[in-house]
Amino acid sequence: MLQVNLIREHKEAYVKALAKRNFEAKSIFEKVLFLDEERRNTQTQLDKTLAESNRLSKEIGKLFKNGEQQKANLVKEKTANLKQESKTLTDKLNTVAEDLQDLLYTIPNVPHETVPAGVSEDDNEEVFAEGEVPKLNEKALPHWELAKKYDIIDFELGNKVTGAGFPVYKGKGARLQRALITYFLDKATKAGYTEFQVPLMINEASGFGTGQLPDKEGQMYHMETDDLYMIPTAEVPITNMFRDNLMTEKDFPISCTAYTPCFRREAGSYGAHVRGLNRLHQFDKVELVRIEKSENSYEALDKMVEHVKELLRDLKLPYRILRLCGGDLGFTSALTYDFEVFSTAQNRWLEISSVSNFETFQANRLKLRYKNKEGKKELVHTLNGSALALPRVLAGILENYQTENGIEIPEVLRPYTGFDSIS
């Protein structure tokens, strides 16, 4: 959620920046500023009314104490009007404040100056690429065929137990997945992130805090009886642990990591793009979250990018980094880098990480602030990134490491898997 005072100050610049997302902000901003002024005016009127009735109440108290009942009753009559008036004003205030809030919720984050304009993923900007695409022979298989051949992932079983998009990992497949998780967590811990285990369901307030609600409730699984949502990413529980916090300088840096399953409804897709592990309703992910002072946040973003690069380098997977264009940028993000691994057998790029700086957009909703050296309260910046999302990493490994004799295990994972190949 954008800050109203900043909208007032930087209206023109914001309108221009939001145009990169193809978001027409001008008239909405005008409405926001109008409602905000209305809100403040109403508040002032209400305050005056309440002040007067507070004054009278105290007077009545004194009169009663002095035994001047009659005088007190006279004053009492005067309060009736004020009461009615303050009720009317309170109602008005609530309505205006709510309208303002609703409107603010519809405005996406202002893109960073480096974000290119664009309408779709085709306009994303490649900023880095590394790693060699292996030469595979003609008989190379896509990962879902490999999974079947070596009996390490069973999609049919998942269908039976739950439904499409909930695979069952078996034997060395399960072990490889666990090895990846442990490896990622170890790397994050070494890089200074504190490991957490967090709830896999969240309440409504948390959904609002990180911006999944109110817009994207269709993306999350909802437990109606208890009004809880399955997490679509660990970002939600982790970031919300800090909701309503007022931090001090000493609390920084804050860097957290967690492994969790993630649940996404992802309605509406079909075909080869959702084959196998490409898109699932339940998948595993190791997530990084950082909470930073505004002046440090972009440095922190770079560090996260470097961290993810290192993971892919270690796994020797060919990948590229994209700077998302305005049209592809998430609602809450100011700047996002997507990492994609090249899936050789499918001959396409698979997104395996997304690293973003939300600046104050989430912090404003979360009321997550810190007291700076001058004792002034400032909103913090929140950042997060996947390090990494498992299924597509697994797909990349299976496809890129396949040989005629089986699938080799990347060197760095062997201490974790306890085997060198799957055959």
- Give me the residues that bind RNA (CB under 7 A), please: 40, 43-44, 46-48, 50-51, 53-58, 60-62, 64, 76, 79-80, 83, 246, 369, 371, 377
Six-digit token pair at 81?
Answer: 């009007």
From residue 72, give the alpha-carbon distance in Å to each of 64, 77, 105, 303.
6, 9, 48, 69
CB of 24 to RNA, least distance (A): 27
> Do residues 331 and 107 make contact, with C-beta atoms less than 8 angstroms apart?
no
Nearer to RNA, 79 or 282 (CB): 79
| Whole-angstrom distance, CA of residue 102 vs CA of residue 95 | 11
CB of 268 to RNA, least distance (A): 34
CB of 357 to RNA, least distance (A): 23
Nearer to RNA, 62 or 160 (CB): 62
CB of 53 to RNA, least distance (A): 6
| Whole-angstrom distance, CA of residue 307 vs CA of residue 383 | 14
Residues 6+ apart with CB under 8 A from 327: 21, 22, 117, 118, 119, 120, 123
Give the dihedral of Cα atoms 69, 70, 76, 81; nearest 10 deg: 180
DSSP per-residue codes, 60-89: HHHHHHTT-HHHHHHHHHHHHHHHHHHHHH
Nearer to RNA, 84 or 423 (CB): 84
CB of 51 to RNA, least distance (A): 4
CB of 185 to RNA, least distance (A): 22
Nearer to RNA, 137 or 225 (CB): 225
| Whole-angstrom distance, CA of residue 336 vs CA of residue 354 | 7
Nearer to RNA, 67 or 163 (CB): 67
| Whole-angstrom distance, CA of residue 346 vs CA of residue 141 | 8
Nearer to RNA, 140 or 368 (CB): 368
| AA identity, residue 68 | E
- What DSSP character marks residue 212? -
Nearer to RNA, 351 or 378 (CB): 378
Residue 116 C-beta-side C-alpha neighbours within 13 Å: 15
CB of 285 to RNA, least distance (A): 24
